Amino acid sequence: MKTESRLEKVLASGALAVTSECGPPRGVVPDKVKEKAELLRGYVDAVNVTDNQTAMVRMSSWAASILLKQIGIDPVFQMVTRDRNRLAMQADIIGAYSHGVNTMLCLSGDHPHFGDHPMAANVYDLDSVQLIQAVVKMRDEGKFQGGKDIDHPPKMFVGAAANPFADPFELRVMRLAKKVRAGVDFIQTQCIYNLDKFARWMDGVCERGLHEKVHILAGITPMKSAGMARYMKNRVPGMDVPDDIVKRMEGVPKEKQPEEGIKIAVESIERLKEMEGVHGFHIMAIEWEEKVPEIVEKAGLLPRPEI
Amino acid sequence: MITAVRKPMEEIIACVAPYDRILLVGCNECVSVCSVGGRKEVALLASALQMHFLKQGKTMDIKEITLERQCDPEYVEELVNLTDGADAILSMACGCGVQTIAGRYREKPVFPAVNTTFMGASERQGVWSERCQGCGDCVLGITGGICPIARCSKRLMNGPCGGSSNGKCEIDPNIDCAWQLIWDRLKALGLERRIEDIMEAKDWRTSRDGGPRKIVREDLAS
């Protein structure tokens, strides 16, 4: 084991891991973080805490991660390179780790253009690949990115994202290979609706043996409505929602659509379980966290392993 | 070249309104090429200002001159006999030119009439695009001749990010995804594998982050 991370232990046991997500509040009330996470207790192995997601200011991901840790839920501390330079990022990694946060996710983050501070400077001192390198170097060499020794280095289990559906598709396996080369331990993918395309990507991943070097958690987001399906299809960059999914959602009455969305999510998980190289699921139920237990249960992912 | 766009007329008017005699100085270099601060634009701005102030019942005395290169002290020296007759100087050069004038004629207020925007190249008639951020450590040799620092919205060194869609950047469908361009070019050169080489964290000292930069050429410096 490289770290004390619960997620690492679950993955090492060979069990399919389950993670979910919780966006911190746009204000100071700590209970809001805890309430969201409580819905997930016992149903997932770790909970991602987003970092100023969609470039909107929220409670910092390290602070919200610590709140989760305090109630005994394991956070995946997300860090985007958009908002901080390498000094601030390393300081936050050390700070979070000193409070028991041992699992993190390295991202570049949405451009400020999409958020409510489009006038902000976007930092990008490092990109996501370089952040992976930095965190791995802190852990494995006990050195800061700048090269000096760390007095008791943080030992993070290091994750990153992959979007098999972004363009150019032919590059997407190579991009994963690059993150693997940087030392990433696990990957959470973009939400998967186009399973055939995902399968093609996984074939490429397995062909190169990357699935033996990194744990891939398949991204799942249940659709609440046909409107959401259309929005994701047409408006969210890098999202691939096939027409038959939209039609299937449109084909049931509005009050039945949430149920249909859950059904699609569960069916997707069932099919993904059969794919070589899929080591777990990252279930992002956006502002719909209360449905995660149902999905996990229906998909036969219970009980979660005791570690 | 350095590109610029003219400031809004109201902003320029507000700067010069308190004065009666203006020295309006153009530049024959970059801003002339991008049609914002050369001889022709100096004449147009002078007329527009005069008309504006005439309507207000004020005669504004505007002297026009376009220097060969406003960022060069040698040419800026040509203003020495003209500044006495002016209450303020309005420069149509890039920020380098404005500062060269301000440094030489310390007793005169100097105002910029243009917003200096970027180092870019001409795409076609009337269209310029950013191409270089002067990071001081050029990577074009390994990125197929396309700069990720100037042309990727997130200046990713190991792109593309997950927002690349049909060759365009997620922030604006009018912006090409720099990493798609890099990928296409590496493919054309038969260098696809290079995309997997990690570009290490950049040393930004050679860029603005190391403090204001200076080049001293001992072989040339006097």
pLDDT tens digit sequence for B165-207: 899 999 999 999 999 999 999 999 999 999 999 999 999 999 9
| Euclidean distance between CA atoms A65 and A109, whole angstroms | 18
pLDDT of amino acid A238: 80
pLDDT of amino acid A287: 85
Q: Tell me the angle at which helices A86-98 and A128-140 cross, rounded to the nearest 10 degrees.
A: 50
**Do the Cβ atoms of B162 and A122 come within 8 Å?**
no
pLDDT tens readout for residues A41-67: 999 999 999 999 999 999 999 999 999
- Residues spanned by the domain of B112: 2-118
| Euclidean distance between CA atoms A184 and A158, whole angstroms | 5
Chain A residues whose beta carbon lies within 8 Å of the beta carbon of residue B167: 167-168
Where residue B9 sits, what CATH number does that domain have?
Answer: 3.40.50.2300
* Number of domain units in chain A: 1
Using alpha carbons, list the distances in angstroms from residue A175 to A129, A280, B96, B183: 10, 20, 41, 11
A306 lies in a domain?
Answer: no
pLDDT at A104 over 90: yes
CB B22 within 8 A of CB B63: yes
A153 upstream amide cis, omega within 30 of 0: no
pLDDT of amino acid A271: 98
Please tell me the distance in Å from A71's CA to the nearest CA on chain B: 33
Please tell me the distance in Å from B192's CA to the nearest CA on chain A: 9
pLDDT at B141 over 90: yes
Give me the total of CB pairs closer than 8 Å, taking one residue from chain A and one from chain B.
95
pLDDT at A235 over 90: no
pLDDT at A236 over 90: no
Q: Is B153 part of the contact surface with chain A (CB cutoff 8 Å)? A: yes
User: In the listed set B66, B91, B118, which residue is the last one of a domain according to the structure?
Assistant: B118
Q: Which of A14, A3, A4 is nearest to A278 (CA)?
A: A14
pLDDT at A117 over 90: yes
**Do the Cβ atoms of B163 and A111 come within 8 Å?**
yes
| Euclidean distance between CA atoms B197 and A215, whole angstroms | 21
Lowest pLDDT segment from A163-167, B40-44, B66-70: A163-167
CB A231 within 8 A of CB A203: no
B167 lies in a domain?
Answer: yes
pLDDT at B87 over 90: yes
> What is the pairing mode between strands B172-176 and B168-169?
antiparallel
pLDDT of amino acid A146: 98
Q: Are residues B157 and B100 in the same domain?
A: no
> Which of the four pLDDT bands, split at 50, 70 and 90, describes residue A291?
very high
Report phi then psi at B91, rounded to 5.
-105, 135
Buried b (16+ CB within 10 A) or exposed e, A68-88: bbeeebbbbbbbbbbbbebee
Closest residue in A to B168 (Cα) is: A167
Q: Are residues B143 and B168 in the same domain?
A: yes
B215 lies in a domain?
Answer: no
B85 lies in a domain?
Answer: yes
Residue B82 class from Cβ within 10 Å (0-12 exposed, 13-18 middle, 19+ buried)?
A: middle
A303 lies in a domain?
Answer: no
Q: State the Cα angle at B165 between B164 and B168, rounded to 5°.
A: 80
Chain B residues whose beta carbon lies within 8 Å of the beta carbon of residue A133: 198, 200-201
Task: Count CB neighbours of A290 within 10 A.
Answer: 11
Q: Is B174 part of the contact surface with chain A (CB cutoff 8 Å)? A: no
Q: Are residues B109 and B204 in the same domain?
A: no
B214 lies in a domain?
Answer: no
User: In the listed set B118, B151, B186, which residue is the last one of a domain according to the structure?
Assistant: B118
The β-bridge partners of B209 are: none
Of chain A, the percentage scoring pLDDT greater than 70 comes to: 100
A307 lies in a domain?
Answer: no
Where residue A209 sits, what CATH number does that domain have?
Answer: 3.20.20.220
| Euclidean distance between CA atoms A257 and A250, whole angstroms | 8
Q: Which of A5, A158, A161 is nearest to A74 (CA)?
A: A5
pLDDT tens readout for residues B6-57: 999 999 999 999 999 999 999 999 999 999 999 999 999 999 999 999 999 9
Contacts of B218 (CB under 8 A, 6+ apart): none
| Euclidean distance between CA atoms A74 and A304, whole angstroms | 13
pLDDT of amino acid A298: 98
* Number of domain units in chain B: 2
Please tell me the distance in Å from A250's CA to the nearest CA on chain B: 26
Report phi then psi at B133, rounded to 5.
-110, 10
Chain B residues whose beta carbon lies within 8 Å of the beta carbon of residue A110: 163
Residue B185 class from Cβ within 10 Å (0-12 exposed, 13-18 middle, 19+ buried)?
A: middle
Please tell me the distance in Å from A36's CA to the nearest CA on chain B: 27
- Residues spanned by the domain of A201: 6-298
> In the 8-state DSSP scheme, what is residue B85?
G
pLDDT at A237 over 80: no
**What is the mean pLDDT of the segment spanning B133-159?**
97
Q: Are residues B111 and B9 in the same domain?
A: yes
Helix extents (H) in B82-168: 95-104, 148-151
A1 lies in a domain?
Answer: no
pLDDT at B216 over 80: yes
pLDDT of amino acid B222: 80
Q: Is B180 part of the contact surface with chain A (CB cutoff 8 Å)? A: yes
pLDDT at A116 over 90: yes
Residue with tokens 């501070």: A117
Q: Are residues B8 and B97 in the same domain?
A: yes
Q: Is B162 part of the contact surface with chain A (CB cutoff 8 Å)? A: yes
Q: State the Cα angle at A161 between A194 and A74, rounded to 5°.
A: 115
Q: Are residues B92 and B144 in the same domain?
A: no
Q: Are residues B110 and B179 in the same domain?
A: no
**Do the Cβ atoms of B164 and A124 come within 8 Å?**
no
pLDDT of amino acid A10: 98
**Do the Cβ atoms of A108 and B204 come within 8 Å?**
no
The β-bridge partners of B67 are: B27
Q: Are residues B114 and B7 in the same domain?
A: yes
Chain A residues whose beta carbon lies within 8 Å of the beta carbon of residue B200: 130, 133
pLDDT tens readout for residues A129-150: 999 999 999 999 999 999 999 9
CB A190 within 8 A of CB B162: yes
**Do the Cβ atoms of A130 and B161 come within 8 Å?**
no
**Do the Cβ atoms of B155 and A124 come within 8 Å?**
yes
Q: Are residues B10 and B91 in the same domain?
A: yes
Residue B74 class from Cβ within 10 Å (0-12 exposed, 13-18 middle, 19+ buried)?
A: exposed
Give DSSP secondary structure letters for chain A. --S--HHHHHHHTTPPEEEEEEPPPSSS-HHHHHHHHHTTTTT-SEEEE-SSGGG---S-HHHHHHHHHHTT--EEEEEESSS--HHHHHHHHHHHHHTT--EEEEE----GGGSS-TTSPP--SS-HHHHHHHHHHHHHT-B-TTSPBPSS----EEEEEE-TTSSPGGGHHHHHHHHHHHT--EEEEEE---HHHHHHHHHHHHHTTGGGTSEEEEEE-----HHHHHHHHHHSTT----HHHHHHHHTS-GGGHHHHHHHHHHHHHHHHHTSTTEEEEEE--TT-GGGHHHHHHHTT--SPPP-
Please tell me which of the candidates B156, B180, B198 has its beta carbon nearest to residue A181: B198
pLDDT of amino acid A286: 86
Please tell me which of the candidates A111, A134, A190 has its beta carbon nearest to residue B170: A111
Please tell me the distance in Å from A182's CA to the nearest CA on chain B: 8
Chain A residues whose beta carbon lies within 8 Å of the beta carbon of residue B155: 124, 127
User: In the listed set B118, B151, B179, which residue is the last one of a domain according to the structure?
Assistant: B118
B160 upstream amide cis, omega within 30 of 0: yes
Answer positive or negative: Cα dihedral of B36, B42, B48, B52. positive
CB A107 within 8 A of CB A80: yes
B18 lies in a domain?
Answer: yes
Chain B residues whose beta carbon lies within 8 Å of the beta carbon of residue A178: 158, 195-196, 198
Chain A residues whose beta carbon lies within 8 Å of the beta carbon of residue B199: 129-130
Name the average pLDDT for chain B: 97
**What is the mean pLDDT of the segment spanning A239-268?**
97
Question: With a CB-CB cutoff of 8 Å, which residues 68-87 of chain B face chain A?
Answer: none
| Euclidean distance between CA atoms A50 and A225, whole angstroms | 24
Please tell me the distance in Å from B172's CA to the nearest CA on chain A: 9
Residue A301: CA count within 13 A, CB half-sphere = 29
Name the average pLDDT for chain A: 97
**Do the Cβ atoms of B171 and A114 come within 8 Å?**
yes
CB A210 within 8 A of CB A177: yes
A107 lies in a domain?
Answer: yes
Chain A contact residues (CB < 8 Å to B): 82, 86, 108, 110-111, 113-114, 122, 124-130, 133-134, 145, 161-163, 166-168, 171, 174-175, 177-178, 181-182, 190, 237-238
**What is the mean pLDDT of the segment spanning B65-71?**
98
B164 lies in a domain?
Answer: yes
Q: Is B171 part of the contact surface with chain A (CB cutoff 8 Å)? A: yes
| Euclidean distance between CA atoms A69 and A227, whole angstroms | 36
